[in-house]
Structure 1
Amino acid sequence: MNKIIKSYILTLALMLMSGSLLIAQNQFPSQIWHKGNIHTTDGQVYSGLVKYDLDNNLVQLQVETIATFTASNVTYFEILDDIYGGLRKFYSLPYSLNGDYETPIFFEVLTEGEEIALLCREYIATDSRNMNAWGPVGMNPFWGPQNMIGYRLAFNYYFFKDNQIQRYSMKKKDLFAMLPGHDDEISLFMRKNRLEHDKRGDLLRIAAYYNELNKN
């Protein structure tokens, strides 16, 4: 009997450890600490572990203690995100999210050139279509049935052009309106490389290509 109990406890412990590892692996970029730097408006540079919160436009620095900065006193911060895309930079720029008045908020800069820059802001969205994405869904062996909802990383995209930040509607016709003057070249580039008008990596390549076209 003791052997059976010990075996059961060991199996349970392994299952719990596996569950913990799965949860850790399924964390979103904003939920973990990254090596990085914070550049403040007074010219100081702080290095350590960095964690960001785009919903509240805050960034934290962990060295011996944790310090919190707002977008109002940060010029930009950068993180080394080994899981989701190497070196990432976030700039504090004035923008009106709710249509009232402009205030400094954080934007990630995906690519920039003389004509335009492609910016984005990430958020965590619920997704009932993908049952296996991001976090516990369906039947959990320890806590019983749960809501059939998963989570995914989503993005809002913006173009910085003519000294203004303009939100991209994610419609193909509006992409060409944002990138005027080279419709035929961009259409051919998208077809040859099988690029979509609403995917992060594809938009980055399209925006970078547009900036190259405008160098000629």
Structure 2
Amino acid sequence: MKSKYGFVLMAMLFATMGLAQRSDRLFPSELWHKGYMVLMSGDTLKAQIKYDFDNNAALLRHKGTIFSYSTRKILNFEIHDVTSDTYREFFALPYAVRDNYKVPYLFEVLYEGPLTLLSREKVAEETTIHNSGYSSYYSQQPYFTVTEKKLVFDYYILNMKGDIRPVTMRKKDLLQSMRKHSSEIKRYMKRNKLKLTKQEDLVRLVAYYNDLEESGARR
């Protein structure tokens, strides 16, 4: 006969296993990717690249030697992401951290046009509560928590004037950046049930806006 404590121990074991599985995951910014970098000096470097949004920098590894470059020296770079098997492009762009003061920030370009969609990513921790499915006189709280790391994205809009504005996830703020075609954008969002929290939906919105802009320019 199994001890009543065995169920509790098994639940704790599964929780620990789940936590370990989540913690072992490596994110794109933690890995080396094949690519090339163009420096402000005009030099192009082919090497393995690791990007760092937190410090607005990138590391290059070439023949066993690692070099560090800040966004003050980087023009842009492209990598072949080993986690998604896709090519990704990054630029160092002047971003206003306060009035009349800009510093070069690292951004990924998701969609380019009259309006360009940019992003920055970070690894954040998220804690969720799970039910172990077992309770008894000895265990009045049959719950356990699992903390996992996940990618979180911040999005930005770059206009033709060179201004970069964050996407706040409020529709009225996004429409302000797209005010020239705000009526069409609102109808497009409603018709296609697009959400500002989804990257693919943001890409579709920016692409649609750019199509409207380019169609108007051809008239």
Structure number with larger C-alpha Rg:
2
Paired position in structure 2 for 1:67 = 67
Identify which range, 95-104 or 156-165, moves more after superposition. 95-104
In the TM superposition, what are the counterparts of 1:3-18 in structure 2 within 5 Å?
none
2:88 counterpart of 1:88: yes
Q: Answer with 94-103 or 76-85: which moved more.
A: 94-103
- Which of 148, 151, 159 in structure 2 is aligned with 1:150? 148
- For the residues of structure 1 that align with 2:78 and 2:129, how far apart are their CA atoms? 31
1:107 equivalenced with 2:107 (yes/no): yes
Structure 1 unpaired stretches of 5+: 1-17, 132-145
Residues 195 and 202, structure 2, Cα contact 8 Å, conserved in 1: yes
Distance 1:38 1:147, change over 3 A: farther
The change in CA–CA distance for 1:98 and 1:153 in structure 2 (over 3 A counts) is farther
3-state SS, counterpart of residue 42 of structure 2: coil
Q: Deviations over 1:86-123 (max 9, x none)?
A: 1111101111346683211111111111x211111111
SS of the residue corresponding to residue 211 of structure 2 reads helix
User: Which residue number in structure 2 is paired with residue 31 of structure 1?
Assistant: 30
CA distance in structure 2 between the aligned counterparts of 1:175 and 1:97, rounded to whole angstroms: 20
SS at match of 1:182: helix
1:1-46 alpha-carbon deviations (Å, 9 max, x no partner): xxxxxxxxxxxxxxxxx99x95797211100111111110111111
Q: Secondary structure at the match of 2:121?
A: strand
Residue 67 of structure 1, CA deviation: 1.2
Output the amino acid matched with 1:155: F
Q: In the superposition, relative to structure 1, how do residues 45 and 75 fare at CA in structure 2: closer, same or farther (>3 Å)? A: same
Partner of 1:10 in structure 2? none
Q: Structure 1 pair 49/120, CA: closer, same or farther in 2 (3 Å)?
A: same
Name which structure has the greater RCO, CA cutoff 8 Å, separation 6+: 2
TM-score using structure 1 length:
0.75
Q: Percent same amino acid at aligned positions?
A: 36
Distance change in 2, residues 1:89/1:24 (3 Å): farther
RMSD in angstroms over aligned alpha carbons? Answer: 2.6
Tell me which residue corresponds to 1:55: 54
Which whole-Å CA distance do the structure 1 matches of 2:98 and 2:153 have between them? Answer: 17
Instruction: Give 1:181's aligned residue.
Output: 180
* Pair 1:201–1:148, CA change in 2 (3 A): same
* Count of residues in Structure 1 that have an aligned counterpart in Structure 2: 183
In structure 1, how many angstroms separate the alpha carbons of the residues matched to 2:55 and 2:153? 16
Question: What is the letter of the counterpart of residue 148 of structure 1?
Answer: V
Unaligned segments of structure 2, at least 5 residues: 1-16, 131-143
Whether the 8 Å contact between 1:37 and 1:77 is mirrored in structure 2 is yes
User: What residue identity is the alignment partner of 2:192?
Assistant: N
> What is the one-letter code of the residue matched to 2:75?
T
Structure 2 CA distance, aligned partners of 1:124 and 1:168? 19
Give the structure with the higher percent strand: 2
Please give the secondary structure, in 2, of the residue aligned with 1:215.
helix
Deviation by residue 1:129-185 (Cα, 9 ceiling, x = unmatched): 487xxxxxxxxxxxxxx9632221111111112321111211112111111122332
Three-state SS of the structure 1 residue aligned to 2:146 is coil
- Bigger mean CA offset, 198-207 vs 24-33: 24-33
